[in-house]
Amino acid sequence: MSTDVEVRARAAKSPRAIAEMFGDIAPRYDLANSLLSAGLHHSWRCAAAADLVAASRRAGEGAPRRWLDVCGGTADFALADLRAAGPGAGVVCTDFSAPMLRVAKDKLRRRDPAGRIDLAQADALRLPFRPGALDALTIAFGIRNVADPRRALGEFARVLRPGGWCGVLEFGLPVLPAARALYGLYFNRVLPRLGGSIARGRRGNAYAYFRDSVHTFPCGDAFAEFMRTAGFGPVSATPFLFGIVWWYLGRRR
Ligand SMILES: C[S@@+](CC[C@H](N)C(=O)[O-])C[C@H]1O[C@@H](n2cnc3c(N)ncnc32)[C@H](O)[C@@H]1O
């Protein structure tokens, strides 16, 4: 049954409803991710960050140095970015949810003792950076939640230097019909119950919202086209695990 906050988040992707939902599930977010993806979510971020760095090296530029991870949540992608980029790189991790950033802060005390990742509370639609300030920008499982994804992509293009890298990791739907049918079973039967019991917020089941938002968000070439229109090109779209997750990589024109 949908609660008030789910209905609001689904209908209008109201930033306040989205922020409340993630604030509610923040303390259990990492555990839920690990259980629901059987630990695979870490490998997706690591593969994505490594691919971005490899593309930059192939272009003869070495690893990017000034990174931003948007909708960074509990800082897992920021950590993967830092590991892939190696010494000399720094990452800013932004999110608009203070509870998610609190979990990130605790984690970084242990995982980033040198303090190479900075946390900042910011909306993806209004990033606190001057134009062209960054070499690389990543976002994992966040763009689907932003009220206006096209505007967010435009904001990403604004803060990246020309030639800067934009990497987007997001859920999608498998391409093969058989894989899509299997995923549908998991999605409709298993995930809402499991996800609901692990990550039920005070105001409802965030995973019902998750299921609906994945089904309505563009993936594959459709999303790559969003990126091209926003100022990136060429853009590659790579399916992970039959297309359950997609990795998009583009360069700011
Ligand atoms: C599914 S979580 C992903 C967190 C993290 N990137 C990861 O890989 O686990 C989505 C995050 O996006 C954040 N978010 C959603 N809309 C946002 C916006 N407009 N501005 C900033 N953060 C936003 C939420 O607070 C939440 O932490």
Decide: 76 in ligand 1 pocket, CB within 6 A. yes
Which tokens is 83 given? Answer: 């590991």
Phi, psi (degrees; rounded to nearest 5) at 200: -70, 120
pLDDT for res 194: 72
Q: Strand pairing of 232-240 and 245-252?
A: antiparallel
pLDDT for res 2: 40
Residue 60 Cα, ligand 1 centroid: separation in angstroms? Answer: 32
pLDDT for res 190: 79
Q: Give dist(CA 220, CA 236) in Å, integer.
A: 9
For each of the domains in the chain, give its residue range(s) and CATH number, in order of start. Answer: 4-252 (3.40.50.150)
Q: Residue 50, SS3?
A: helix
Q: Give dist(CA 19, CA 100) in Å, integer.
A: 9
Report which ligand 1 atom has the smallest distance to the Cα of 69. 6
Shortest-distance Cα residue to atom 14 of ligand 1: 71
pLDDT for res 35: 86
CA 26 vs. chain centroid, Å, equals: 15
Q: Which of 5, 20, 46, 96 to mutate to test the pocket of ligand 1 (most atoms within 8 A of CB)?
A: 96
pLDDT for res 6: 45
pLDDT for res 134: 98
User: What pLDDT tens digit does each residue of the chain (253 aa) get?
Assistant: 344 444 444 554 689 989 998 999 999 999 989 988 889 999 999 999 999 999 999 999 999 999 999 999 999 999 999 999 999 999 999 999 999 999 999 999 999 999 999 999 999 999 999 999 999 999 999 999 999 999 999 999 999 999 999 999 999 999 899 999 999 888 778 776 776 666 555 545 677 788 888 989 999 999 999 999 999 999 999 999 999 999 999 999 9
pTM: 0.93
Strand stretches in the chain, DSSP E: 66-70, 90-95, 117-121, 134-140, 160-171, 200-201, 204-205, 232-240, 245-252
Contact assessment for residue 164 and residue 251, using Cβ atoms and an 8 Å cutoff: yes
Report which ligand 1 atom has the smallest distance to the Cα of 26. 27
Decide: 81 in ligand 1 pocket, CB within 6 A. no
Decide: 72 in ligand 1 pocket, CB within 6 A. yes
ω into residue 234 within 30 of 0, thus cis?
yes
Which tokens is 187 given? Answer: 């999605």
Q: Give dist(CA 241, CA 228) in Å, integer.
A: 24
Question: Which of 94, 96, 166 shows the shortest CA–CA distance to 137?
Answer: 166
Decide: 15 in ligand 1 pocket, CB within 6 A. yes
